[in-house]
Structure 1
């Protein structure tokens, strides 16, 4: 610039334009964030509708078969009622888990109190052994690990992880739940010695309704595809983190870190 006056004009323009650019960038980022949120919501609603449509179609099919007189043989009506009852249970599970996710998404405060994670894990492991007596389900680690948290929600995390390990591995596959206290955190690790997760699926396991192998969920019992999404939401609500380590043929470990209770 040739003289101080021109330099002064340039700086004045910069002072005016700078905030305008920053404001425009902030507005653009806000609109982009809103669009992403709307896209996620539309995808979530579409997935939930699809999951509800399947059991409804099954129930409608059995009812229609009955109305048309197709259930005349002994025991056929009882079988139809059993199938419809199973689908009602599937819908109830999905609705309950959707309600829980909505509650967590709304950032409502948790019912926090001192909770011993080791005691919760012991109950989960004990129940899992009764349900799956063919498996070695083991609890390892420290004798006590107390956090400020919502006990039923933390126990639901443990049940989801152990249940997921049992459901998606072959009968007899060992499952280990380890509770440690590294520093000021409580570490929860649920490991199975199953087939592991392929790399292309690993980054998506906490996504809502994501299934790496949909056929396994239907055949192995009621599954909404929301189990790990609920795990992540509960852990984040407690100020913790969750991650998964897995590779084909090397099993899967889900690791959670929660803040220890402050005295």
Structure 2
């Protein structure tokens, strides 16, 4: 009996030991996983800090260069070197001021987004009226730039359908996309196409396509990231802005429960595709019955 008792105790001890080893192994796996996550977070933080340092240097250049040009132009007027009216430098200086104004606007937008305070103000509008408004915007921007504009709507299930959307914010989206398309196409043979696919009552797809320089394959996965400016060459040239516009575009589209993707062939052009729901009614939990509703991210 005594030997049997010892044998049972021994078996119990072995079982306990195995159980403890399993538990220890599980804890080790958990610690390893947590360390991996921590390392990933540290890498991401370091990447962000590096991106911000690079961005500040870029920003100083983007602001300093046009200011130097404008200052020099005004100094020449003051010194009497050029006449203050009817001079070709007028348009150049004005364009630099516009660029600075656009940059300030993008910085303000990004500041709001990074604080997680982006809002959309949903208003009711007829879809067909909204599309006509977007067509006018595209036609004006593209034709003013000396490029060709093409507009095509595929399907039109209900011309009288009213939906809720932040139309001001969505105008921003298409202004950004059209601005980029114009910037990266040649004036002489540049063509910018805007396709609307509206074959479903509840969803719409909008495509902005150009025949410009395109986006490098290595840049394509990162173009919607804050501060990303791309590699040298193609549309990633370091001379092309500070990498805010597309980040803002994506945030606005996501705030409408939509998605945006990009396709590109370097040297042949790019397409930006937006798919988003058309909301005929507001969620009562969000809107509280108000047609003018602020939705926070």
TM-score category by the smaller chain? 0.7 to 0.9
Q: For residues 221 and 235 of structure 2, what CA distance do their matches in structure 1 show?
A: 14
Cα distance per residue 1:123-170 (max 9 Å; x no partner): 232244345176243131243576543111111212222333233323
Q: For residues 100 and 202 of structure 1, what CA distance do their matches in structure 2 show?
A: 23
Q: For residues 23 and 206 of structure 1, what CA distance do their matches in structure 2 show?
A: 29
Calculate the TM-score normalised by the size of structure 2: 0.68
Q: Contact (CA 8 Å) 1:121, 1:139: kept in 2 or not? A: no
Range with bigger deviation, 111-120 or 48-57: 111-120
Cα distance per residue 1:228-251 (max 9 Å; x no partner): 333223222323221122224644
Q: 1:245 to 1:26 in 2, by over 3 A?
A: closer
Does residue 157 of the first structure (1) align with residue 167 of the second (2)? no
Report how far residue 225 of structure 1 moved: 5.2
Q: Contact (CA 8 Å) 1:136, 1:174: kept in 2 or not? A: yes
Segments of structure 2 that go 5 or more residues without pairing to the other structure are 1-10, 282-297
| SS of residue matched to 1:3 | helix
Report how far residue 255 of structure 1 moved: 0.5
2:68 alignment partner in structure 1:
57
Q: Contact (CA 8 Å) 1:179, 1:188: kept in 2 or not? A: yes
Q: Contact (CA 8 Å) 1:188, 1:256: kept in 2 or not? A: yes
1:176 alignment partner in structure 2:
193
Does residue 242 of the first structure (1) align with residue 253 of the second (2)? no
Cα distance per residue 1:91-137 (max 9 Å; x no partner): 11110111112222322232123455553342232244345176243
2:286 alignment partner in structure 1:
none
Q: Contact (CA 8 Å) 1:196, 1:246: kept in 2 or not? A: yes
Q: For residues 125 and 31 of structure 2, what CA distance do their matches in structure 1 show?
A: 50
RMSD: 3.7
Does residue 113 of the first structure (1) align with residue 123 of the second (2)? yes
Segments of structure 1 that go 5 or more residues without pairing to the other structure are none
Cα distance per residue 1:171-197 (max 9 Å; x no partner): 354432222246653211112344544
Calculate the TM-score normalised by the size of structure 1: 0.75
Q: 1:21 to 1:129 in 2, by over 3 A?
A: closer
Q: 1:150 to 1:34 in 2, by over 3 A?
A: same
Mapping of residues 1-263 of structure 1, within 5 Å: 3-14=14-25, 16-65=27-76, 69=79, 71-75=80-84, 83-108=92-117, 109-116=119-126, 118-131=128-141, 132=143, 135-143=148-156, 144=159, 148-170=164-186, 171=188, 173-181=190-198, 184-194=202-212, 196-207=214-225, 208=227, 210=229, 212-213=234-235, 226-248=244-266, 250-261=268-279, 263=281
| SS of residue matched to 1:210 | coil
Q: 1:214 to 1:88 in 2, by over 3 A?
A: farther
Q: Contact (CA 8 Å) 2:110, 2:248: kept in 1 or not? A: yes
Q: For residues 111 and 256 of structure 1, what CA distance do their matches in structure 2 show?
A: 19
Q: Contact (CA 8 Å) 1:194, 1:252: kept in 2 or not? A: yes
Q: For residues 30 and 181 of structure 2, what CA distance do their matches in structure 1 show?
A: 53
